[in-house]
Amino acid sequence: MSHLSNLLSNIQTGITVRHKVVNVKRTKLNLEVLRLLYSEGFIDGYSLSSNKINHLSVFIKYVNEKPVLKRLRIISVPSRRIFVNYNTIVKSLSKTGLFVISTSKFGLVFSDSYFKDSEKLINVGGELLFQIIF
């Protein structure tokens, strides 16, 4: 299982059982995903775990005792990677939810970022990593 799948499943399990903190493996990709989720307000934060070496503690965000994130759905896995181009992102993905895309030019971005600054991101596609349902 990839580290990204492990990260998403740990967060999903933490949401299901109402944990406030979950521990995940510390990798560069996990740090980038957590940084992105924190910047958009989906999690309360993350820090180095005091219990385990090379692990991160992720603080799940709740509003009125309900989790902000409802579901995280992995799309691209190591055995089946899904790549999308700009036109697919604009036409199809904008109607079905919020997606995280890994681009070579801009790193990790949300699918709605393509609409906020569309001139900058024209003709940039990437790997479709996962979907966020909130």
Report pLDDT digits (tens) over 54-64. 999 999 999 99
Q: 57 and 9 in one domain?
A: yes
| Inter-CA distances, 26 with 1, 4, 51, 78, 118, Å | 15, 10, 13, 18, 32
CA 120 to chain centre: 22
Q: 82 and 61 in one domain?
A: no
Report pLDDT digits (tens) over 53-94. 899 999 999 999 999 999 999 999 889 999 988 788 777 766
Q: 8 and 36 in one domain?
A: yes
Task: Decide if pLDDT at 43 tops 90.
Answer: yes
- Measure the CA angle with vertex 11, ends 8 and 17; round to 5°: 140
The pLDDT value given to residue 119: 58
Domain span at residue 89 reads 75-133
| Inter-CA distances, 112 with 5, 26, 70, 80, 117, Å | 22, 27, 18, 24, 9
The model carries a pTM of 0.87
How many separate domains does the chain show?
Answer: 2
Q: 15 and 52 in one domain?
A: yes
Confidence of residue 16 (pLDDT cuts 50, 70, 90): very high
Positive or negative, the Cα torsion across 79, 32, 100, 9? positive
Q: 87 and 120 in one domain?
A: yes
8 A C-beta contact, residue 50 and residue 85: no
Q: 58 and 87 in one domain?
A: no
Q: 91 and 49 in one domain?
A: no
Last residue of a domain, one of 15, 32, 67: 67
Q: 71-108: string of b/e by CB count within 10 Å (b at 16+)?
A: ebebbbeeeeeeebebeebeeebeeeebbbbbeeeeeb
